[in-house]
């Protein structure tokens, strides 16, 4: 059993770029949010094991989980769940009542993860992952072409 410590990160975002790149295939999309919002990091043995980025939405009382990743060698050990729980507590204390997240429809693993945390399906955004949004053609996730984005949300 590993010990996970989650904290708000206030250091240089470029030092976490490797983690953001685990979750994002589009350089232009990554640059559009890398320096926004609040970042939580999970540490295992003092080393960053993953991150979670929260950004405000246009609707008061709502936020978006914009980016999250856990080092591949540490996945499946509760780090992502710990990040989501810490984000939930942080947002509740700030008066936020709804948390949104979007993920690839092709990723059954991500959809399963978010639903296990209490997120529910809200909408499908067709053809979200295109060259126009900075995604290279031919990306396949879990044997499925990367095309559509699924939006989920959770009442906190």
Q: Domain holding 118: CATH number?
A: 3.40.630.30
What is the rounded average pLDDT for all residues in the chain? 97
Q: Residue 26: which of 113, 102, 80, 114 has the closest Cα?
A: 102
What number of CA atoms fall less than 13 Å from residue 37's CA on the CB side?
Answer: 23
- With beta carbons less than 8 A apart as the criterion, state whether 40 and 52 touch: yes
Rg over alpha carbons for the chain, rounded to the nearest Å, is: 15
Distance CA 104, CA 34 (A): 19
Domain with 131, as residue range(s), is 4-155
pLDDT tier at 115, thresholds 50, 70, 90: very high
Reading the block at residue 155, the tokens are 């009442």
Q: What is the pLDDT of residue 110?
A: 97
pLDDT tier at 51, thresholds 50, 70, 90: very high
Reading the block at residue 87, the tokens are 């984000």
**Residue 130 DSSP symbol:** S
User: In 27-61, at which residue ranges do the beta strands (DSSP E only) sit?
Assistant: 38-44, 47-56
Q: How many residues does the structure list for the chain?
A: 156
Q: Residue 114: which of 71, 68, 146 has the closest Cα?
A: 68
3-state secondary structure of 145: strand
Domain count, the chain: 1
At residue 114, does pLDDT exceed 90?
yes
What's the mean pLDDT in 127-151? 95
């Amino acid at each position: 059993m590993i010990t996970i410590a989650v904290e708000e990160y206030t250091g240089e975002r470029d030092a976490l770029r490797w983690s953001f790149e685990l979750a994002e295939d589009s350089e232009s999309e990554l640059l559009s949010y890398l320096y926004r919002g609040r970042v939580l990091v999970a540490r295992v043995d003092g080393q960053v094991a993953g991150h979670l980025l929260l950004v405000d939405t246009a609707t008061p009382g709502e936020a978006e989980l914009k980016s999250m990743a856990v080092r591949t060698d540490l996945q499946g050990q509760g780090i992502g769940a710990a990040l989501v729980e810490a984000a939930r507590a942080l947002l509740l204390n700030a008066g936020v009542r709804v948390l949104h997240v979007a993920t690839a429809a092709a990723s059954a693993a991500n959809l399963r993860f978010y639903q296990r945390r209490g997120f529910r399906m809200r909408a499908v955004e067709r053809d979200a992952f295109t060259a126009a949004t900075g995604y290279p053609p031919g990306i396949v996730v879990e044997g499925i072409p990367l095309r559509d984005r699924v939006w989920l949300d959770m009442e906190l």
